[in-house]
């Protein structure tokens, strides 16, 4: 077994690998970019080496830099995690050339399965059913567009070299095919350094079911059953479970054997995942991910195995610890991905400082950040994975709901409310879902609910406490001036707190009582007190957490601002003639220049942030007055990127 392991990755997967390596007595070496100097994986590792600036292409994607660190630190093996270089055959070969064990499959298997077009051809030869599509080598627009027309719209353009939903576009018609192709190629080139694509028929009601496979260098190959990953947004998974609901034993066996055949066809070694599109009782090969998957913990929970340990043992030349007959399914597991993103804004990533973070102690948590860490525009926005295991699916659902009720995040927008809404949806509970679940259920995105009275009271009491703390307390404890209760001789004392939640202004009249405060708003009066993290409102006492003026109540983060009612209304920073960067990111493409005429809805700029593309469009017809920034420039949130001439 290895004495020292270099982990060529970051975030939660680096932390997860470190935990297993430490249990096995293997020393770990972390690598980090300038942006990650204080990251959790750096703190957990036995040693850590800086490998360059924040941009992945200058740090985590630099093969020469990673190999140099591995040599200098004395590592015997390199674990690529997932993403970045995990499915890069050149990296696997560079490790081998440097005398380092690559904790993954051989470069030949990565090349065979990493190129989706080539993988489809291999599967076709092996008799595995495929979704109709074009998987050829020609990548020019006329060839691809003609193939799409022959397949029939809608089609899915998919990056040949990648995964994780990057470089994918659904195209509904021939007219928008060129724009969809260009966007998919740009995103594929940015994420994987390879802009080749394939085109397939887009199925409207499929389930995404994948099989975990494992192979060793002694000729043994097994499957560790299936995972259902159908709940997705932007073609990226956010809820995964194992086993797949409603999976018949006969179909499980057929899919498992197909996955094993796929792995054996390319001489596979290590952990891999064969992904299938499933409709009814039929399944079709989609792709093979030649790495450990983000969702591997649900397989670990139902099998009782540590897949990273298996990876390390296989990479060290050991045989698989178990054979197929030894593997069984125990219970049901669910995993959610807690991400820094705003579902109300088409899942736009959210960057910033995590000011408060509470993760459940009743579940397994794989996290790569802590309170005080910053979500960077350079990397994936996932905060943590939360995983539960129950005797059956209903028990796992109850456990996950309880775990999410304990979860709190302040400082960035998250998908927490969306995850709760999906888990509580009757169709999800009944396992009536497919990859289009979120799109067909807009109710799960209706995340703006009635503002709880308890939240208003807690925020108001916080402001009152802040006002009191800002004043000097007289030395005489009997002085009425030391109480900060707005006491007045011969008059009823009181003060008004002005708050805003989202776009709703609130004026709360506060009067001190002997046991707390009398708070009045919207024509009603409430008695409230806040002591040691417990809020008493009228006759009810409940726990509440406060982070500045964000109230965390029943796991929901409800943000308030204190406002000055005498200030004039805030003018909108961006009028109809300005295109504003919604988050920090890099300019991937600037499609207009001063003097150009544009129409409403026309894409003017494409930004790159958190491994995804964001298109910024004109809100009206007009002429470009100015463009601020060039391709490759980093722009901050709120930056005016394009300005149109004033109307009239």
Determine the Cα angle at 433 with ends 431 and 439, to 5°: 145
Same domain, 216 and 178: no
Same domain, 247 and 387: yes
Question: Which residues, in sequence order, are CB contacts of 473 under 8 Å at separation 6+?
Answer: 482
Same domain, 141 and 65: no
User: What pLDDT shows up at residue 89?
Assistant: 94
Same domain, 211 and 197: no
- In-domain check, residue 126: no
Best CA proximity match to 4, nearest among 24, 27, 25: 27
Find out whether 82 and 88 touch, Cβ atoms under 8 Å.
no
Backbone φ, ψ for residue 325 (5° rounding): -65, -20
Token pair, residue 35, equals: 């942006």
Beta strands in 397-533 (DSSP E): 408-410, 495-501, 504-513, 516-521, 524-531
Choose one of 445, 464, 497: the last residue of a domain: 445
Beta strands in 290-380 (DSSP E): 332-339, 341-342, 348-349, 352-353, 356-358, 364-367, 374-375
- In-domain check, residue 435: yes
pLDDT tens digits along 96-113: 999 999 999 999 999 988
- In-domain check, residue 615: yes
Same domain, 530 and 551: yes
Same domain, 182 and 242: no
- In-domain check, residue 400: yes
Token pair, residue 121, equals: 């051809």
How many CA atoms are closer than 13 Å to the CA of 288, on its beta-carbon side? 34
Kindly name the residue from 291, 337, 420, 586 that is annotated as catalytic.
Answer: 291
542 has catalytic annotation: no
Same domain, 336 and 248: yes
The H or E element that residue 303 is part of is helix 296-303
Q: What's the predicted TM-score (pTM) here?
A: 0.81
User: What pLDDT shows up at residue 500?
Assistant: 92
- In-domain check, residue 109: no
User: What pLDDT shows up at residue 160?
Assistant: 80
User: What pLDDT shows up at residue 161?
Assistant: 74
User: What pLDDT shows up at residue 475?
Assistant: 53
User: What pLDDT shows up at residue 132?
Assistant: 81
- In-domain check, residue 127: no
Same domain, 81 and 136: no
- In-domain check, residue 113: no
Taking the C-alpha atoms of residue 603 and residue 593, their distance in angstroms, rounded to an integer, is 13
Same domain, 298 and 184: no
DSSP per residue, 228-290: EEEEEETTEEEEEEESPTT--HHHHHHHHHHHHHHHHHTT--EEEEEEEEEETTEEEEEEEE-
The H or E element that residue 606 is part of is strand 603-609
Q: Which stretches of the chain drop beneath a pLDDT of 50?
A: 570-575
Best CA proximity match to 468, nearest among 488, 451, 484: 484
pLDDT tens digits along 262-297: 999 899 999 999 999 998 888 999 888 999 999 999
Residue 499, domain CATH:
3.30.700
Choose one of 185, 201, 217: the last residue of a domain: 201
- In-domain check, residue 567: no
Same domain, 441 and 462: no
Same domain, 469 and 380: no
Q: For the chain, what is the domain count?
A: 5
Same domain, 262 and 395: yes
Taking the C-alpha atoms of residue 632 and residue 615, their distance in angstroms, rounded to an integer, is 15
Look at residue 496 and give its three-state secondary structure: strand
Choose one of 521, 536, 562: the last residue of a domain: 562
Residue 594, domain CATH:
2.40.50.100
Residue range(s) defining the domain that contains residue 544: 453-562
Residue 305, domain CATH:
3.30.470.20
């Amino acid at each position: 077994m290895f004495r020292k392991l270099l982990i060529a990755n970051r975030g939660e997967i680096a932390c997860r690998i470190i935990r297993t390596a430490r249990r096995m007595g293997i020393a770990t070496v972390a690598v980090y970019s300038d942006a990650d100097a204080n990251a959790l994986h750096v703190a957990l590792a036995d040693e850590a080496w800086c490998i360059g600036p924040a941009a992945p292409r200058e740090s985590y994607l630099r093969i020469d830099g990673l190999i140099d660190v591995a040599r200098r630190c004395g590592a015997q093996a390199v674990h690529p995690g997932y993403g970045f270089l995990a499915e890069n055959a050149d990296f696997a070969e560079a490790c081998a050339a440097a005398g380092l064990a690559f904790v993954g499959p051989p470069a030949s298997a990565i090349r065979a399965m990493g190129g989706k077009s080539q993988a489809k051809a291999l599967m076709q030869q092996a008799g595995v059913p495929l979704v109709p599509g074009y998987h050829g080598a020609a990548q020019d627009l006329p060839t691809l567009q003609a193939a799409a027309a022959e397949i029939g719209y809608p089609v899915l353009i998919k990056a040949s070299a990648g995964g994780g939903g990057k470089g994918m576009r659904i195209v509904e018609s021939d007219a928008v095919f060129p724009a969809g192709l260009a966007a998919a190629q740009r995103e594929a080139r940015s994420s994987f350094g390879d802009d080749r694509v394939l085109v397939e028929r887009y199925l409207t009601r499929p389930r995404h079911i994948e099989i975990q496979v494992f192979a060793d260098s002694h000729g043994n190959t097994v499957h560790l059953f299936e995972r259902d990953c159908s709940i997705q947004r932007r073609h990226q998974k956010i809820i995964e479970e194992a086993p797949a609901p409603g999976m018949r034993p006969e179909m499980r066996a057929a899919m498992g054997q197909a996955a094993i055949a796929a792995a054996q066809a390319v001489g596979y070694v290590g952990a891999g995942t064969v992904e299938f599109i499933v409709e009814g009782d039929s399944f079709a090969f989609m792709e093979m991910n030649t790495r450990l998957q983000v969702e591997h913990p649900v397989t670990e929970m139902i099998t009782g195995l540590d897949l990273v340990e298996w990876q390390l043992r296989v990479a060290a030349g050991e045989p698989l610890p178990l054979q197929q007959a030894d593997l069984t399914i125990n219970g049901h597991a669910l995993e959610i991905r807690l991400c820094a993103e705003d579902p109300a804004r088409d899942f736009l990533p959210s960057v910033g400082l995590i000011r408060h973070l509470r993760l459940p102690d009743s579940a397994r948590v794989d996290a790569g950040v802590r309170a005080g860490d910053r979500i960077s525009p350079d990397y994936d926005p996932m905060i943590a994975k939360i995983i539960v295991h129950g005797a059956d699916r209903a028990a796992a659902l109850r456990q996950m709901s309880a775990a999410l009720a304990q979860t709190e995040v302040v400082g960035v927008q998250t998908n927490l409310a969306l995850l709760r809404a999906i888990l509580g949806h009757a169709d999800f509970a009944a396992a009536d879902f497919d990859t289009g679940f979120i799109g067909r259920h807009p109710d799960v995105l209706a995340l703006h609910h009635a503002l709880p009275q308890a939240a208003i009271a807690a925020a108001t009491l916080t402001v009152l406490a802040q006002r009191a703390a800002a004043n000097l307390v007289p030395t005489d404890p009997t002085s009425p001036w030391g109480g900060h209760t707005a006491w007045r001789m011969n008059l009823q004392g009181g003060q008004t707190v002005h708050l805003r939640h989202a776009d709703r202004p609130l004026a709360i009249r506060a009067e001190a009582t002997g046991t707390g405060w009398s708070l009045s708003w919207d024509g009603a009066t409430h008695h409230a007190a806040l002591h040691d993290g417990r809020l008493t409102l009228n006759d009810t006492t409940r726990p509440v957490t406060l982070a500045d003026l964000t109230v965390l109540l029943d796991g929901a983060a409800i943000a308030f601002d204190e406002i000055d009612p005498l200030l004039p209304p805030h003018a909108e920073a961006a009028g109809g003639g300005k295109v504003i960067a919604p988050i920090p990111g890099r300019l991937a493409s600037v499609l207009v220049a001063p003097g150009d005429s544009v129409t409403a809805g026309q894409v003017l700029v494409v930004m790159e942030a958190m491994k995804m593309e964001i298109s910024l469009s004109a809100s009206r017809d007009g002429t470009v007055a100015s463009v601020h920034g060039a391709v490759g420039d980093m722009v901050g949130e709120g930056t005016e990127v394009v300005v149109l001439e004033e109307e009239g």
